[in-house]
Amino acid sequence: MLTLALLVSTSLASVQAYVWPSPQLDALEAMRWDQNRFGIAPLIRPCDLFIFGPANSGRSNAADWIRTAYHDMATYNITDGTGGMDASIRFAAEQARPENAGDGFANTLNVLQPVSNRYVSSLLTSLTLIRIAAAQKLPSRGGRLDAAVPNQPGVPEPQEGLDSHVASFSRQGFTKEEMIGLVACGHTFGGVQHATFPTIVPDLHDSNNVDSVAHFDTTNTHFDNNVATEYISGTTLNPLVVGLNDTTNSDKRIFGSDGNATMEAFAQSPDLFASTCANLFARMLDTVPKGVQLTDVITPLPVKPNTIKLIYDALTETIAFSGEVRLWDVPANLSRVVRMLWDDRSGSTSTANNITLSTGSIIPIGSRHTATWYFFNLFPLSASSGVSSIRFVVDGKLEDQQGKGFAVNDDLVFANSSCSMPADGTGTFDVAVRKDVAPTRVYLEQTSRDSTSRPIIVEIDMTPKPVDSSKAYAIWSANVSSTFESYTIGAEVGGVKITRGLGMSLNQFGECSS
């Protein structure tokens, strides 16, 4: 039996503090801080990268992604709480509006939407880039929901007068001075493209800028205050300041609307510009529709388990146990000793319940941080005693989340009797359910998408096999049509749905016997 559970991306029933494990917060923290591991760092750095055209295009991913985030947010109406950061910019109806001219939105979503899942919103990578590009410690929160329908128009256009711009930013929740700051901060990257705005930018006939992009400042792929210093000094080539058609010189009108006071302050103080941009970007990113509750600020856990895998073996009545732990921003030390201790379900930790983890791998996270990973390979635990919690000792210091430990769930785990049939790409998943759990339903969870590209979960019901009274676990089984799709385990226990386990695919198991 297949059922569909619609997931509003990164939603939480209530804001909660981050204690591992928390599937949603784990995913959000990893996407923000483990960029190199999740493959998004090459999309973010360097800031002059543009993956949709030649290196001499004159364009950059950074500029497109910042513009996408602002245009998505700019539909917000502070009066009724509609619009805001909700990925409605992904809809063709919004992208077709004159206010959203250009292919930068489609380019952005083509990269970001495949990254989204039940916990990570479609625009999260864009938010990550802005936090990095702004060179500030912008707070990171989850909880944004992907919209089901397009929002109302509302993004200001260059030809509109100053009063219209002030009114638009006011509707979004920003004062006139904040409007100046947000435009200046956004325009430290990128420029105006000829193909998108031919009446503003002519064909530049420049072999080093083949897309004819008139940039906002001379350092258009770096975060700095040159957009202000060049404006105040009168050397700016910003096409929205010195364009031949004064009707579309919107930056000129905006920047000068307070007698240039804000821009002069920005030009005089790079630190003021950076801190102002950090504050305004953070507010922009956290402008969400009414009823959406963002999480607390997500900071990297100093010690974080990851990819914890439990596999039941009915023949030996053991559970194979493997995983890793990340130490955040610790000095490199190849001689560091990291040990793991674990409690069984009785709560005891015997002298045998500890191992030294394999030597770590050090991964740089941008220019400011590093993550060091230590590993433990598959080893058998008694299925009857199992594991309930793990702790770590790092260079003699106990790390256990202030006495909470790191909880491990061994109530529903994949069984190594799962198998694939490579000839037709199908196979059978077996899930081991501890006998004291007594679920009313067990199912596989598979991520898919609805007609608006929001993540949904397809639930594939499993069937219990005859119970062997000598075993600690009962087996539930289901056939699946793809050996490459990733599945997690779901169950209903006491009327509550739970999700368990690291996502796995059948090609991680052996072949089915004929």
Q: Quick check: is 337 in a domain? A: yes
Structural domain harbouring 245: 2-285
Please tell me whether residues 403 and 416 are part of one structural domain: no
Say whether both 353 and 217 belong to one domain: no
Residue 132: its pLDDT value, please? 55
Domain match, 163 and 20 both: yes
251 with 116, same domain: the answer is yes
CA dihedral 131, 132, 133, 137 (to 10 degrees): 60
pLDDT of res. 9: 44
Asked if 258 and 398 sit in the same domain, the reply is no
Question: Does residue 204 fall inside a structural domain?
Answer: yes
Tally the domains of the chain. Answer: 3
Query: pLDDT below 50 — which residues of the chain?
Result: 4-15
259 and 392 inside one domain = no
- 121 lies in the same domain as 76: yes
Same domain, 422 and 457: yes
CATH number at residue 354: 2.60.40
Domain's final residue, options 355, 372, 407: 407
Q: Could you report the per-residue pLDDT of 286-318, keeping only the tens digit for each?
A: 999 999 999 888 889 999 999 999 999 999 999
Q: What is the pLDDT of residues 382-404, one digit of tens each?
A: 999 999 999 999 999 999 999 99
Do residues 180 and 147 share a domain?
A: yes
Specify the long-range contacts of residues 238-247, CB closer than 8 Å, at least 24 apart.
238/187, 238/214, 239/191, 239/192, 239/200, 239/201, 239/214, 240/158, 240/187, 240/192, 240/200, 240/216, 243/200, 243/201, 245/199, 245/200, 247/159
- 133 and 98 fall within a common domain: yes
Angle at alpha carbon of residue 365, lines to 363 and 370, rounded to 5°: 55
* Domain match, 161 and 267 both: yes
Please indicate, yes or no, if residue 296 is contained in any of the structural domains: no
Distance CA 227, CA 167 (A): 24
Residue 43 lies in a domain: yes
The amino acid at 448: S
C-alpha span between 474 and 464 (Å, rounded): 8
Co-location of 85 and 179 in the same domain: yes
Q: What is the CATH number of the domain that holds 434?
A: 2.60.40.10
- Around Cβ 107, how many Cβ atoms within 10 Å? 19
